[in-house]
Amino acid sequence: MTISNYREQIIAVAQLMRLDKPWGTVLLLWPTLWALWLASHGLPSLKLIFVFLLGGIIMRACGCVMNDWFDQDIDARVRRTQTRPIVSGKIASRSALVIAVALASCAAALLLILNRQTRWLAVCGLLLTMVYPTTKRWLRCPQLFLGITFAWGVPMAYSACGQSLDWACWVLYGATALWILGYDTIYAMQDLADDRQLPIHTMPKVLNGHIDRFIIAVYGSFWLILGLYAHSIGLRWPFFVCWVVAGYLLRQQLSIIKNQGKTVFLQAFQSNQWVGFWLWMGIVMAQ
C-alpha cells in the first residue's frame, strides 16, 4: 500500500465517522451540556465535561458507522448518500463493523470513570443506537426514535452528577427529544424525492412533504416546555434572554424551509447548532 492509498483510507474512515460533518456531533452534545450544567448547579467537574464530550464524539461516530452498515442497500439508491464510503466501495462492509466495535469499545472504556447507574444508562443508550438504523424499515416516524436516542445524554448527565432521575430530568429529556424530532424532520426533507421510491418510512414521507405545521407544533412545544421548565426550577433572567434568541432562530428556520430546496433544508438544520449554543449560554449565565 502506498502513502497515497493510506491517505485515501484515512479520509474514507473519517467520512464514515462523519468527522468531515461535525454538526451532528455538536447537536448531540448541546443537550448533554445543558443537563451537565443544570444537574451540577452550574459547576460540572472537568472530568465529567471531558468524559461526556469525548464520549459524545465517539458514540456519534459509532452511530454513523452502524447506520451506514445497516443502510447499504438504501444508500445506494439515494442520490445524496451514493458516495458514502461503504456504498462506494472505499471501505469494506466487514471493516466498517470492526470500526464500529472499536469505537463502542473506546466508549465503554470511558464508562469506567462513571458511577454504576450511569453505566447502565449508557448500555441502554448503546442499544438505542443499535436499533435506530433499523427503524425506517418498521416505524412510521423514525425521527421520533432518533429524538429518544439522541437525547439520552440528558438522563446520563443527571445520573453522572449524582442527581436523581426526577421530573426535571425527564421534562428536559422530553423537550430535547421534540427539538431533535423537528430538526431531523427538516434534514430528512433533502431525500424526500428518493425516499418516496423506497420501502422505508420518514416523517416527511408520512406528511407528504408538508412539514410546516408539524415543525411549528414540535418546535413551539419544545420552546414553551423549556421556558416553563426554566421558570419552575428558578433559572434567572439571563436564561430567558437567550431563550428568546433561540426562539427567534427556530422561527427563522420556518421562513427558510418555505423555499423548499435541498440546500435550504440543510441550512435550516445546521442553524440548530446556534439554538443549542444560546440555550447553553443562558443556562451557564442563569445559575
Q: What are 19-38's pLDDT values in tens digits?
A: 999 999 999 999 999 999 99
Helices (H), 112-152: 116-131, 142-150
Domain boundaries, the chain: 3-286
> What CATH class is the domain 3-286?
mainly alpha
User: What does the CA dihedral 192, 197, 199, 204 come to, rounded to 10 degrees?
Assistant: 20
Q: φ and ψ at 174, to 5 degrees?
A: -65, -40
Could you read off the pLDDT of 230-252 as tens digits, one per residue?
Answer: 999 999 999 999 999 999 999 99
pLDDT above 70 for 1? no
Q: How confident is the model at residue 287 (pLDDT cuts 50, 70, 90)?
A: confident
Average pLDDT, the chain: 96
Sort residue 92 into left (φ over 0), alpha (ψ -120 to 50) or beta: beta
pLDDT above 80 for 2? no
Could you read off the pLDDT of 174-220 as tens digits, one per residue?
Answer: 999 999 999 999 999 999 999 999 999 999 999 999 999 999 999 99
Provide the whole-model pTM: 0.96
Do 52 and 169 meet the contact criterion of CB atoms below 8 Å apart? Answer: no
Could you read off the pLDDT of 129-165 as tens digits, one per residue?
Answer: 999 999 999 999 999 999 999 999 999 999 999 999 9
